[in-house]
Structure 1
Amino acid sequence: MMHRVFCSRWVLSGLSVTAGICIGATLTATGDRLNRTRGGLLDRIPVIPVPSVDAAAEISPYQPGQVAVSRSTAVMKYGFPSLSSIKSRESYVTSYDPRNRSAAWVIEQLNAETVTGTSDRKFCDFKEDDSVHVYHRSSKADYKGSGFDRGHLAAAANHKWSQKAMDDTFYLSNVSPQNPHLNQNAWNNLEKYCRSLTKHYQNVFVCTGPLYLPRQEPDGKMYVKYQVLGKNHVAVPTHFFKVVILEKPRGDVELRSYVMPNMPVDEKIPLERFLVPIESIERASGLLFVPNIMKRTSSLKAITAG
């Protein structure tokens, strides 16, 4: 099996996201340095030759008996503590964040066929994701009595074309703690709106995920602060984002990006009020959307709040 290693270093300063309320955010992150092991030990550990560890560098599993070609590759004899956790379901793909017991992002492809059908959520039930290590998964007990909804990231109603596809959206790895008022009102309206776009566009790609934004405390300093639920400490996001990529038949692409706070939001507020520049989501989440889109199309129109 081939593995990918994704290395990143980013700095964000002074991010301001307006999503019904004004949010000031300042994040900084830097890469860690690896300490050298005492001389001579690494020379005796057999490893495979590996290219320099760049973004998307391919790493092959260690094979006993192979000879090291450089000291730096010896550290992978026993593997890495983690690699990018990408999981594929019937009709969506997700990147799981084991630290927060939730997905970092979930992406779906919607069209007129996927959002219609006879599938019914009454046949579905929330369930633990057995593909996630027991240390890192959430359970139904974590949500019981918490006051939070089990908010879908890939919405169940987006996958009416297949009962199996809809059932897959009920894995708790596709769920984040969501304020009930938000989940059942304004956020639900945004999900409905995304489905309605399939009437006007050939394909609608929807990427959804949680955000954990800092805020200024009384001491004047910025802190990332969020609640955790249950014995598994499921992280409660401060906000949610939804990035919508719209494909027209002739190949033109439109991009719309939204952020909503994880709190009661008046459902009468127009969805346009939650439009934000895509750069604000990229900076806050550590994800990138625009470079990937630009690789696939020569025409990109971004829509943000005026």
Structure 2
Amino acid sequence: MNLLRVTATLLLFIASFAIYAQNCAYGCPTGASGQFIERPIYTLQNNANTKFADWVAYRVTSQTIDGPSRNRNWRQDPIIHASQTLIPSDYNGAHATLGTDRGHQVPLASFSNTEHWATTNYLSNVTPQAANLNQGPWARLENAVRVLARTGQDVYVVTGPLYEWHFGTLPGTSKQHTIPSGYFKAIVTDNNGWVEMSAFIMEQSLARNADYCSYEVTGFNVEYRTGLNIMPNLPGYKVGPIFGQTGGLTKELGC
């Protein structure tokens, strides 16, 4: 019986590690301290004070995209205590008052062809994102990631919020929360050890017709502004040109 328990524990550990490695190819970000959640299509770290994830990591492939049309059934994350996250009614009046959408950090469209697509609608993966940003340059960047994935490449992404200025508060909730002032997205491909990366930061105030290509930054800039180590095990991390320069995937992302 003890041997069976040990075997079962080992198999569970191996399965958990596989999920971790799949979503965080170069190590999950460090520097945050909230609840760590691993799921088959993404890994995140929830912030009980802001009520939003400090970062989310995921991998987009040609197999995860281009599924059937999926709905947006917003739900409280079932494994986060209600005091540390939001519920659907907390967003009541947000669009009318703030001009925000419920913006996915992990895009539903990037996982519409998986059985786990509905987990992207958990509110731990959602923030109040300005509609012009969500439906404009941010959406176009997310689509560019899917276009790249259609070439057969696995595309690794780490994304999350910034809190650099006051955007507003949700009118439908009395819970303490902090709405992001902007967002970062770091995008990486690895072709047999040849690693390329581009990173972007966009403010909530961006116009709908803004060109996402104009907001490319270095990985160092993302880390400086977020306080995170976003890919701590990336080859050549902080010594080679990957993190210190822009343009790694500029062409591949349509810029």
TM-score tier by shorter-chain length is 0.7 to 0.9
Alignment of 1:1-306 (within 5 A): 84-118=34-68, 120-122=69-71, 124-147=72-95, 148-162=100-114, 164-200=115-151, 202-213=153-164, 224-229=165-170, 230-248=173-191, 250-267=192-209, 269-289=210-230, 291-294=232-235, 301=242, 304=246
Amino acid at match of 1:96: N
Q: Secondary structure, in 3 states, of the residue corresponding to 1:181? A: helix
Distance apart, 1:128 and its partner CA:
0.7
Question: Residues 228 and 234 of structure 1 are in contact (CA less than 8 Å); yes or no, is this contact kept in structure 2?
Answer: yes
Assess, with a 3 A threshold, how the Cα gap between structure 1 residues 207 and 159 changes in structure 2: closer, same or farther. Answer: same
Cα distance in structure 1, aligned partners of 2:40 and 2:189:
21
Assess, with a 3 A threshold, how the Cα gap between structure 1 residues 91 and 186 changes in structure 2: closer, same or farther. Answer: same
* 1:202-221: CA deviation from partner (whole Å, max 9, x where unpaired): 210011100011xxxxxxxx
Cα distance in structure 2, aligned partners of 1:114 and 1:188:
17
The structure that has the greater radius of gyration is: 1
**Structure with the larger strand share:** 1
Structure 2: segments with no counterpart, 5+ residues:
1-8, 10-29, 251-255
* 1:97-146: CA deviation from partner (whole Å, max 9, x where unpaired): 1110000001111111111333x322x40001121112111011221111
Cα distance in structure 2, aligned partners of 1:226 and 1:117:
34
Assess, with a 3 A threshold, how the Cα gap between structure 1 residues 295 and 264 changes in structure 2: closer, same or farther. Answer: closer
Distance apart, 1:295 and its partner CA:
6.5
Q: Secondary structure, in 3 states, of the residue corresponding to 1:87? A: strand
Question: Residues 149 and 155 of structure 2 are in contact (CA less than 8 Å); yes or no, is this contact kept in structure 1?
Answer: yes
Give RMSD over aligned pairs.
Answer: 2.6
Identity of paired residues, percent? 27
**Structure with the larger helix share:** 2
* 1:56-90: CA deviation from partner (whole Å, max 9, x where unpaired): 9xxxxxxxxxxxxxxxxxxxxxxxxx964110123
Is the deviation greater in 199-208 or in 126-135? 199-208
Question: Residues 253 and 299 of structure 1 are in contact (CA less than 8 Å); yes or no, is this contact kept in structure 2?
Answer: no
* 1:32-75: CA deviation from partner (whole Å, max 9, x where unpaired): xxxxxxxxxxxxxxxxxxxxxxxx9xxxxxxxxxxxxxxxxxxx
Question: TM-score normalized by structure 1?
Answer: 0.63
Assess, with a 3 A threshold, how the Cα gap between structure 1 residues 206 and 83 changes in structure 2: closer, same or farther. Answer: closer
Assess, with a 3 A threshold, how the Cα gap between structure 1 residues 144 and 192 changes in structure 2: closer, same or farther. Answer: same
Cα distance in structure 2, aligned partners of 1:135 and 1:266:
34
Question: TM-score normalized by structure 2?
Answer: 0.75
Aligned residues: 211
Cα distance in structure 2, aligned partners of 1:274 and 1:83:
28
Q: Secondary structure, in 3 states, of the residue corresponding to 1:135? A: helix
Cα distance in structure 1, aligned partners of 2:211 and 2:206:
15
Q: Which residue of 1 is the match for residue 27 of structure 2?
A: none
